[in-house]
Structure 1
Amino acid sequence: MSFPVKFHHKTHRLCFTKVDTQAKHSTYKRRGGELDMDLTISAVASEFVSRFISFLINKYSYSSHVRLEEKVERLQHLLMRVHTVVEEADGRYIMNSRMVMQLQLLSEAMYQGYHVVDTFRYQSFVDKGISEVCNSSILPFAIPLKRTRTIECTRRDKVVNLDLDGALKTMQSVVANMMEFVVLLGGCDRMVRRPYDSYLYYENIMFGRHAEKQMLLNFLLQQNTPGDEPSVLPIIGGCTVGKKTLVAHVCRDERVQSRFSSVLHLSGENLLKILEHESTMLGKMLVVVEFASNIDDNDWRTFHSFVKRLARGSKVIIISKLQRSARFGSVKPIFLNNLSFEELWYLFKTLAFGSANPEEHPRLVPIAQEYAKMLHMEESLLVINPVADVLRNNLNVQFWLFLLKKRRRMLERNLSIYGVDLKIQMEQGYPLDLTDYAMNPLRAIPYSAIVPRKKELPTVTLGDLVADPSVRPKGEFNLVTWESRIPPYNSASYFVPDWVQDMREGTLLPGRKRREFHV
């Protein structure tokens, strides 16, 4: 009797266990479905949020870019107005010192504004992916990866937006305060313009120095202060900033030429030779003295005593890189500084592209900016024209990059040899190692009292050598590194010895073998 009960009990327990297992499977299946649904919803929501954020970013980027374009257009209109006034002021005699100061502010704001506009255009070239992508040793930029490009563009837009806001604020303030200047400018006499002074070709005129030119004109055209002593104006500035060019430019003015019977140029070493020509110095004289080194006070007193005996109204201009020379002046000195980067970039861009529109050559713009940065660090205006000439004659990206590499190697080579920057090296009369510009080792020795000029040797310009190394003559020759196209038509020439003989004498460090580049 007990057996069926046990069997039934076992059967019941077995059936109960089976039902429990099925329930668990059903629960797991239901939970798995819910989990899949949650994952699907999460994925859809994540995709929706991602697309929504991308939509907002793109919408913001587009609207932000549109606003930037509007600001740039507004800035360009203001720049055109300011540039018109600056150019008009350059053709007037401004005798008001406060107006000269305002002209200085106008010109500074103008070049800064142009630089901001070019920066915006340059960034737009990068965003479109059409600027040249080079390794970081050549150009300090690269196009961002595609995944982060939108974010990077947004960040750059913010930076450019801040620059634009600052430039716009400055330009609007300048224009708002410009009305009185324009009214007063209308009362200033006009200068007589000649075709030579055309603004179409910056390589044939003196660039910038708007305020300094007016200061020098004021000094020369104003009457001397009561008394017998002539007025003495020191012009102080570093090497190759354009001191002699400024004086030569102003001395060509018709009013200046009619005011003085003659212009006498002296060097500090020959300062007292003026005493030998007293009988020939008739009428008002303009004496221009260049001090390359410090001058003895007794020599200056002797010179100044002689100048007192010249005709009333005679004047003296001192040109020097030494701050101490300012002590000889009777009026406030004119200090010439290096061009700001904004001014130099405007000048170099104009010369390098010439009649070509930079926007039609967007891949060349960042390379040109690298050249401008390099030239600004060298603090020398001498090589701007030769470099720009070579680049302008061949608007080829690979050619520009190739010459940029050459110049970098040349600077590094000279720094490793002499341990000083190129500007100091040239000022102190060191030879230049220009092997990177030639197919064979090339050492250029500056002419001096120790190395007299050899006019009978063939002459080659540095620009021609850079463009085509095969123009190098066999044996010795003269190398003209730069020459001025405007008065006083100065130039810098070097003696280049025969490289084979130079190598035998061990005076030249051998350079690496260079490959020739053809475009």
Structure 2
Amino acid sequence: MEVAVSAVASELVGRFISLMNKYHSSHAQSEEKMVERLHHLLMRACTIVEEADTRYITNSGMMMQLKMLSEAMYRGHSLLDASRYRALQDGASFDEVSSNDSSSSSLYLIIPVKRSRTTADKGNKAMGLDSHGALESLEIAVANISEFVVLLGGCERMSRRPYDVYLYTDNFMFSRHAEKQKLLSFLLEHKDPSGDHALAILPLIGGVAVGKKTLVAHVCSDERVRSRFSSILHLNGDSLLGILGDGRAMIGIMLVVIEFTSDVGDDDWKFFHSFLIRMGRGSKMIIVSKLKRIARFGTVKPILLSALCHDELTYLFKALAFGSVEPAEHPRLVQIANEFATVIHSSQISLVATNMFTDVLRSNLDVQFWHCILHKAARMVKRNRSIYGVNPTMRIEQGHPVDITDIALHPLSMKSYSDNISIKTELPSVTFGELITDPSVRPKGDFTLIAWESRIAPHKSFPNYVTSHAQDTHQSSALPGRKRQGVPI
């Protein structure tokens, strides 16, 4: 009897494996066709977007098409990575089941396998709908781009040098294709000489650390912009009235870039504006601020710079984390990078912090190391939400300290030096990468933490003031319901 049961069990398992094999093969073929189609469309879309980035576009309709195409492109890249990782997981699961076929006890593996696959099938079905949605939106965007490509050929080409391309990536001048074109169009537009002498003012409005000043710096480095204006003057709105005495600086056709961190009274603005109109005809101004109210001073429609969407941030994060390494060669690291990007996006962490973390990850392409850094970042975000009720980025924006206990494995708080705190040059300093990979480098007492430093000139750095926060953490140095444990690296 036992021999008969064993034979029947072996037969059932064999048939089950055979059916799984056929399903797996059919599903894999369908998936491969979709991935291949998505890959080819992404190649076309990337080619068009890259070419558009080397041209001066003044047509508003073309700018809108470029924005739609780039959004579809980043979404497609995100789903392509997800499909590749899902194929890796499916292959691993199938190999595990197949390896147990030689034993009659494999019959007992059917139930847990079916349960796990039921859950996986639901996720795969949802992912499949997303994949087909991304594929469809990309197909539509590419199919309707023929006219755009023809018109693009008539747009003047920008001069590009290898150093500019490196600077473009290193300083986070990423995405923002349509916004860059709008800003260039504003600066290079020539008004009728017989028209009035009204000063053209463009407000650039966006949240903290979304790339406003980087966008302006990138556009101002354009060859045509630099030759258009006799000088480019960068002003700080906080010292608005103190800069009005230097009339000699307002000679010729000028571009004035002024940043406002707080609101300005209408009377102060009128006085300042009356001073600026002394500039030569054709001069222009860009107002940079996080305050939407400042947009009332503009003479043209403002450019609203929002945070990168999830797909854009994921693409950027992987590009920075892998550097010159091909991500497809490290599928498990790609999955961790996707999870990291999700944590950053949901936490509204700034682009400086994005570069800060990716700089550390790029130094060690090890799965365990990446998992450790991800867990530290996630715990830091969770701790600040638990203690203060807001994300770390919001705390910094409000001028309050951020708890970095999980980064340093010691009760510490960090405050940006930009928040009316003078840089204390006498304090010891460490970099973020040194602290998160080896918390023992933490100096005794207060110190300066260099969040990140640009790798090329002018090597801009982002220092922060770090101090013990044992006296003001509301006795919440550990997450509720658990003890803080250091994770060795």
- State if a TM-score over 0.5 links the two structures: yes
Task: Give the stretch that moved more between structures: 94-103 or 411-420.
Answer: 411-420
Deviation, structure 1 residue 47: 9.9
**Which residue of 92, 106, 128 maps to 2:91?**
128
In structure 2, runs of 5+ residues without a counterpart are 95-110
**Contact kept in structure 1, 2:172 and 2:351, CA below 8 Å:** no
Larger Cα-atom Rg: 1
Partner of 1:517: 488
Cα separation, 1, equivalents of 2:457 and 2:347:
24
**Which residue of 113, 127, 132 maps to 1:160?**
127
**Contact kept in structure 2, 1:462 and 1:482, CA below 8 Å:** yes
Opposite residue 272 of structure 2, the aligned amino acid is F
Question: Aligned-residue CA RMSD in angstroms?
Answer: 2.9
Task: Give the stretch that moved more between structures: 264-273 or 95-104.
Answer: 264-273
Question: In the alignment, is residue 92 of structure 1 matched against residue 55 of structure 2?
Answer: yes
Cα separation, 2, equivalents of 1:475 and 1:49:
68
> Relative to 1, partners in 2 of residues 1:60 and 1:291: Cα closer, same or farther, differing over 3 Å?
same
**Contact kept in structure 1, 2:188 and 2:228, CA below 8 Å:** yes
Cα separation, 2, equivalents of 1:175 and 1:457:
55
How do 1:232-247 and structure 2 match up within 5 A?
232-247=201-216
Look up the SS of the partner of 2:246 in the other structure.
Answer: helix
> Relative to 1, partners in 2 of residues 1:381 and 1:448: Cα closer, same or farther, differing over 3 Å?
closer
Opposite residue 118 of structure 1, the aligned amino acid is D
**Contact kept in structure 2, 1:127 and 1:153, CA below 8 Å:** no
**Which residue of 366, 370, 376 maps to 1:400?**
370
**Contact kept in structure 1, 2:78 and 2:315, CA below 8 Å:** yes
Opposite residue 346 of structure 1, the aligned amino acid is Y
Query: TM-score, with normalisation over the residues of structure 1?
Result: 0.81
Partner of 1:461: 431
Partner of 2:388: 418
How do 1:440-455 and structure 2 match up within 5 A?
440-447=410-417, 451-455=421-425
Opposite residue 437 of structure 1, the aligned amino acid is I
Look up the SS of the partner of 1:76 in the other structure.
Answer: helix
Task: Give the stretch that moved more between structures: 95-104 or 250-259.
Answer: 95-104
> Relative to 1, partners in 2 of residues 1:145 and 1:356: Cα closer, same or farther, differing over 3 Å?
farther
Cα separation, 2, equivalents of 1:101 and 1:384:
27
Cα separation, 1, equivalents of 2:297 and 2:232:
20
**Alignment coverage as a number of residue pairs:** 460
Deviation, structure 1 residue 157: 4.2
Question: In the alignment, is residue 202 of structure 1 matched against residue 169 of structure 2?
Answer: yes
**Contact kept in structure 1, 2:372 and 2:487, CA below 8 Å:** no
Partner of 2:141: 174
Cα separation, 2, equivalents of 1:49 and 1:440:
57
**Contact kept in structure 1, 2:250 and 2:276, CA below 8 Å:** no
Opposite residue 493 of structure 1, the aligned amino acid is P
Opposite residue 136 of structure 2, the aligned amino acid is K
Question: In the alignment, is residue 260 of structure 1 matched against residue 229 of structure 2?
Answer: yes
Deviation, structure 1 residue 449: 7.1
Deviation, structure 1 residue 353: 2.0
**Which residue of 87, 112, 120 maps to 2:75?**
112
**Which residue of 219, 241, 245 maps to 1:250?**
219
In structure 1, runs of 5+ residues without a counterpart are 1-35, 132-143
* Seq. identity, %: 52
How do 1:45-444 and structure 2 match up within 5 A?
55=18, 58-129=21-92, 145-198=112-165, 202-224=169-191, 226-379=195-348, 380-444=350-414
Partner of 1:479: 449
CA offset digits 1:282-317 (Å, max 9, x no partner): 211111111111110111111112222210010010
Deviation, structure 1 residue 201: 8.2
CA offset digits 1:72-96 (Å, max 9, x no partner): 1011111101101100110111121
**Contact kept in structure 2, 1:477 and 1:496, CA below 8 Å:** yes
Cα separation, 2, equivalents of 1:273 and 1:493:
27
> Relative to 1, partners in 2 of residues 1:449 and 1:364: Cα closer, same or farther, differing over 3 Å?
closer
Report runs of 4+ in structure 1 exceeding 6 Å deviation. Answer: 46-54, 486-489
CA offset digits 1:112-165 (Å, max 9, x no partner): 11111111112112223389xxxxxxxxxxxx9423355455444433332332
Look up the SS of the partner of 2:82 in the other structure.
Answer: helix
Look up the SS of the partner of 1:363 in the other structure.
Answer: helix
Cα separation, 2, equivalents of 1:443 and 1:365:
31
Query: TM-score, with normalisation over the residues of structure 2?
Result: 0.86
Deviation, structure 1 residue 391: 1.1
Cα separation, 2, equivalents of 1:513 and 1:210:
44
Deviation, structure 1 residue 326: 1.4
> Relative to 1, partners in 2 of residues 1:150 and 1:433: Cα closer, same or farther, differing over 3 Å?
closer
Look up the SS of the partner of 1:276 in the other structure.
Answer: coil
Task: Give the stretch that moved more between structures: 369-378 or 455-464.
Answer: 455-464
